[in-house]
Amino acid sequence: MLVGCGGGEEGGGDTANDTSGAHTDPADVGKQWGYISWEGKLLIEPKFERASSFSDGFAAIKEGGLWGFIDKTGAVVIKPAYNQVGQFHEQMAPVRSHRWKWGYVDTTGNLVIKFQYDDAKDFYDDRAAVKVGEKWGFIDKTGKVVIEPTYTEVKNFGDGRAPVVVEGKWGYIDTDGKMKIEPQYETADSFVDGVAEVHTKDGQFGVIDQNGNFQNRQSFQSNVAYAEGLAPLKKEGDWGYIDEKGDFAIEPRFEDAQKFSEGRALVKLNSRYGFISKSGKLVIKPKYFEALSFSDGRAAVCIRSNDADAAEE
């Protein structure tokens, strides 16, 4: 769930008029979030306490200690009224009330699945993971339970499969709850573009297809996640990017580095964040206090209220 620029959320309300639990998190003081374009142009002025990446044309933002949603023009389309939220996927988003229960709203802000869950994840493949007590299951968009809450841990569906934990091991179920890949992995991620990254019980790291066929990756690449053909890797204290052969395509020189998204990767240099292209060129100079990766053609960026250099475009 979204936490923006550090820390968890407190306070909130069931409706736009109920702000009984709202408060300002000390971690938010002095920070202003806005959005830039792929070229680094300022699209939405930094003015929010926190912000999320765009998804399905909407982004979660925090104002006055509460979360709501904006559209791609920066207009507030769902007034901040919740103490925690997820992201919009498939026209629905999980939101949490000040009574600590989760429900789901549609893109107009209507509560379409009532507050009743102890935790909730985003919709993927017409399914959303919800927690009842200590167990996770899945619902459809009507709120009907389609996979009973029996799992201690789960992750989102992707390509018709979802990772679930059974007796301490990760396996994969389909959208009907049938086990398709038997529990056997130490870690497992959701499927993206037909493959999922896993760690086997003997410590190997690699990817599996939807039938569970495993492809190993070289040992020094353990815990490396690829995106757009490149993966961040740390060497002797600095981060760079390797290609799928394991060779450095972008030499290590960054203090931090995130996966590529939409042809840009978020990197940290001289204690500030900027973005590079797949050639390694700094296309958006490192000047932001914090930032998130690109999504829907926009990236959320954070400046300090007294940081004139970062605010200028």
Task: Encode pLDDT of 174-204 as tens digits.
Answer: 999 999 999 999 999 999 989 999 999 998 8
pLDDT of residue 312: 54
> What is the reported pTM?
0.85
Per-residue model confidence as pLDDT tens digits over 93-127: 999 998 899 999 999 999 999 999 999 999 999 99
Tokens 């959005």 sit on residue: 35
Distance separating alpha carbons of residues 12 and 51, to the nearest angstrom: 16
**pLDDT higher at 26 or 130:** 130
pLDDT of residue 246: 83
**pLDDT higher at 27 or 100:** 100
pLDDT of residue 204: 87
pLDDT of residue 206: 86
pLDDT of residue 235: 92
Domains, the chain, with CATH or none: 1-105 (no CATH), 118-224 (2.40.128), 225-293 (2.40.128.630)
pLDDT of residue 309: 57
User: pLDDT-derived band of residue 14, with 50, 70 and 90 as boundaries?
Assistant: very low
Q: What is the mean pLDDT of residues 23-43?
A: 87
* Average pLDDT value for the chain: 89
Per-residue model confidence as pLDDT tens digits over 219-275: 444 456 788 999 999 999 999 999 888 899 999 999 999 999 999 999 999 999 999
